[in-house]
Amino acid sequence: MSTRNTIILAAGKGTRMKSKLYKVLHKVCGRSMVDHVLTQVEKTNMNRIVTVVGYGAEKVEETLHDRTEYVLQKEQLGTGHAVLQTEPLLKDQDGTTLVVSGDTPLFQAQTFENLFKYHEAKKAMATVLTSKAPDPTGYGRIVRNDVGIVEKIVEQKDASEKEQEIDEINTGVYVFDNKALFAALHEIKNDNAQGEYYLTDVIEILKNQGDIVAAYRMNSFEESMGVNDRVALSKATKVMQRRINETHMRNGVTLINPEDTYIDVDVKIGSDTIVEPGVLLKGKTVIGDDCLIGAHSEIHDSTIHNNVTVTSSYIEDSEMDEGSNIGPMSHLRPESKIGQKVHLGNFVEVKKATIEEGTKVGHLTYVGNAHLGKRINVGCGVVFVNYDGAHKHDTTVGDDAFIGSNSNLVAPLTVADHSFIAAGSTITDEVGQYDMAIARARQTNKTGYFKKLPYDPENE
Ligand code: UD1
Ligand code: CA
């Protein structure tokens, strides 16, 4: 039976990245490069996907899980050697094999499909995917003969001056007749500038033995960009970001300045939401319809329901329900659940707390390890004192309670519904329903004492 396989090359260290992190694990818009490649491959119809791992093998496997099979390339002797490692798994199959690199994150599934079609139409044994580079430096060059037929691929370091002028580059993506590929891989040598076994040499080998070898030139160089260093990483990120942002805008999201809006690939945004400049939306964040995400807000792995306003705030692993708002300059730390129409004003920090519908926490307040009911009014400068130096404790506040400004609620503590805490109180004991708690020293006024003080405003 004829099968379609993919081999993803991801064993290299990525020396040029100058990084502790293995190259293919560097992220572009929130997803590692090799994951981007695999995600696109998964959209095409493949029987088997095999990833060649080496440097950071465990980390790559942790990232891609069982979405692919793996083979280990113990020593990184070149791209040809890397592909050869899949021989025990694939060599007996009739069919076609797509080879892609883990460091070309911008390819789209449709391009792979187009390559397959071209390959089939040409009845080729091998078809290389090429593009025209504005600056081909660093890429393998496609050498064609007088009538335009591909003869070979020459690497930058092995290219003559004349060959270096060629601007058609090898994108590192190929389709091969599976059996012809493994037969040819045994023929390649490492007598080149880098002393490596180049996959690119398979083209010349097949050509010389009389097989049909084709080159399919795609229109977009951008999509074929390979990432070998951080400069290319930033360029690829820009391209990916533009793609993501344009998709959101086409889906009905307003981005005031898409050039300065950073949205990870898995983020979802509803229609008529407005995203202002300098915003970062990360991870698995989901934003509903009709929201306003104000300038310089940052939201990680959070769910924001419809009609929410976030003004210059930082939100992590949290949820904001419909019609709620936050900011400016507030912070939702992990596990905060903000109910409908809750108002969180400026300089409010919430951690691991649930705040129910209609409650207001307007200013300069810390709410940690707490459960707040509905329609509560939390005054300015309230502190939920949740930490005794060793343990975190919980506070519960019932519906319709009023917490006066500058109060400390020392946990563990229960404040019943319909209770009132006077401003400036340090509350350590339970407050019952309909109680008013006041816990502060009484005021004393000393009549005429002003005149005894050294303070003299007229002499200031
Ligand atoms: C390669 C191509 C070059 C092409 C470019 C496109 C070769 C010899 N050169 O060059 O013609 O223009 O890609 O981006 O193929 N890898 C392994 N094992 C190894 C060596 C590499 O798995 O022993 C993996 C790397 O992790 C990487 C991919 O293969 O994902 C490509 O290797 P890299 O060193 O980046 O090749 P380039 O120099 O970019
Ligand atoms: Ca590369």
> From ligand 1's centre to the CA of 54, what distance in Å?
13
pLDDT digits 0-9 by tens, 10-29: 999 899 999 999 999 999 99
Specify the ligand 1 atom closest to the Cα of 172: 6
CATH number belonging to domain 4-224 = 3.90.550.10
pLDDT digits 0-9 by tens, 72-116: 999 999 999 999 999 999 999 999 999 999 999 999 999 999 999
Is the C-beta atom of 25 inside 6 A of ligand 1? no
- pLDDT confidence of 30, banded at 50, 70, 90? very high
Percent of the chain topping pLDDT 70: 100
Specify the ligand 1 atom closest to the Cα of 76: 23
Helices (H), 229-316: 230-250
> From ligand 2's centre to the CA of 60, what distance in Å?
17
Tell me the three state secondary structure of residue 100: strand
pLDDT digits 0-9 by tens, 433-450: 999 999 999 999 999 999
pLDDT, residue 459, reads 80
Tell me which of 33, 101, 156 to substitute to probe ligand 1's pocket, judged by most ligand atoms within 8 Å of the beta carbon: 101
Please state whether 43 falls in left (phi above 0), alpha (psi between -120 and 50) or beta: alpha
Tell me which of 79, 142, 196 to substitute to probe ligand 1's pocket, judged by most ligand atoms within 8 Å of the beta carbon: 79
Is pLDDT above 90 for 216? Answer: yes
Any known ligand binding at 271? no
> From ligand 2's centre to the CA of 26, what distance in Å?
13
Atom 28 of ligand 1 has which residue's CA nearest to it?
A: 101
First to last CA, the chain: 98
Ion ligand 2, residues whose Cβ is below 5 A away: 103, 226, 228
Torsion of CA 216, 217, 222, 226, to 10 degrees: 50
Ligand number, closest to the Cα atom of 55: 1
Is pLDDT above 70 for 146? Answer: yes
In Å, what is the CA distance from 256 to each residue of 70, 268, 302?
43, 17, 22
pLDDT digits 0-9 by tens, 339-349: 999 999 999 99
Is the C-beta atom of 86 inside 6 A of ligand 1? no
Is pLDDT above 70 for 1? Answer: no
Tell me the three state secondary structure of residue 80: helix
Instruction: Give the pTM.
Output: 0.94
Tell me the three state secondary structure of residue 238: helix
pLDDT, residue 96, reads 97
HEC string for 396-460? EECCCCEECCCCEEECCEEECCCCEECCCCEECCCECCCCEECCCCCCCCCCCHHHHCCCCHHHC
Any known ligand binding at 441? no
pLDDT, residue 456, reads 86
Is the C-beta atom of 365 inside 6 A of ligand 1? no
Atom 31 of ligand 1 has which residue's CA nearest to it?
A: 101
Q: Assign domain 251-444 to a CATH class.
A: mainly beta
Is pLDDT above 90 for 261? Answer: yes
Any known ligand binding at 241? no
Any known ligand binding at 369? no
Contact 441, 423 (CB under 8 A): no
Determine the residue type at 57: A
Provide the greatest CA pair distance for the chain: 112
Residue 82 corresponds to which tokens in the numbers above? 């890397």
**Is the previous residue joined to 136 through a cis bond, with omega within 30 degrees of 0?**
no
> From ligand 1's centre to the CA of 87, what distance in Å?
18
Average pLDDT value over all residues in the chain: 97
pLDDT digits 0-9 by tens, 265-285: 999 999 999 999 999 999 999
pLDDT, residue 2, reads 80
> From ligand 1's centre to the CA of 392, what distance in Å?
51
Is the C-beta atom of 228 inside 6 A of ligand 1? yes
Same fold, 4-224 and 251-444: no
Ligand number, closest to the Cα atom of 171: 1
Provide DSSP, 4-68: EEEEEEE----GGG--SS-GGGSEETTEEHHHHHHHHHHHS--SEEEEEEBTBHHHHHHHHGGGS
Pairing of strands 48-53, 141-144: unpaired
Domain ranges within the chain, ordered by starting residue: 4-224, 251-444
pLDDT, residue 365, reads 98
Determine the residue type at 418: H
Catalytic site residue 363?
yes
Contact 435, 417 (CB under 8 A): no
What are the residues facing 392 on neighbouring strands?
387
Q: Which pairs with CB-CB distance under 8 Å and at least 24 residues apart come from 245-250?
A: 248/275
pLDDT digits 0-9 by tens, 386-430: 999 999 999 999 999 999 999 999 999 999 999 999 999 999 999
Is the C-beta atom of 254 inside 6 A of ligand 1? no
Is the C-beta atom of 32 inside 6 A of ligand 1? no
